Amino acid sequence: VCVCVCVGFEERYLASEAALDLCVVGPGPGDPRSNTAKMETVKRQVRRLLGGKKKFLAVCLGHQCTGHVLGLEVKKKDMPLQGVQKEIDLFGRRERVGFYNSFYVQHWPDKCKDITASMDPATHWVSFQFHPESMLTQHGLAIIRDAARYLLNLPSVSE
- What is the greatest pairwise CA distance in the chain? 46
Q: 61 near 26, Cβ under 8 Å?
A: yes
60 part of the active site: yes
- DSSP-derived secondary structure letter, 61: H
Q: Check if 95 is active-site.
A: no
Q: Could you tell me if 140 and 130 are in contact, meaning their C-beta atoms sit under 8 angstroms apart?
A: no
Is 87 a residue of the active site?
no
CB atoms within 10 A of CB 148: 17
The b-or-e profile of 57-67 (16+ CB within 10 A means b, else e) is bbbbbbbbbbb
Among candidate residues 63, 68, 124, 131, the one labeled active-site is: 131
Which candidate in 17, 107, 133, 139 is catalytic?
A: 133
**Exposure b/e, 78-88, CB count within 10 A at least 16 = b:** eeebeeeeeeb
Please tell me which residue in 60, 63, 65, 68 is annotated as part of the active site: 60
Q: Provide the annotated active-site residues.
A: 60, 131, 133
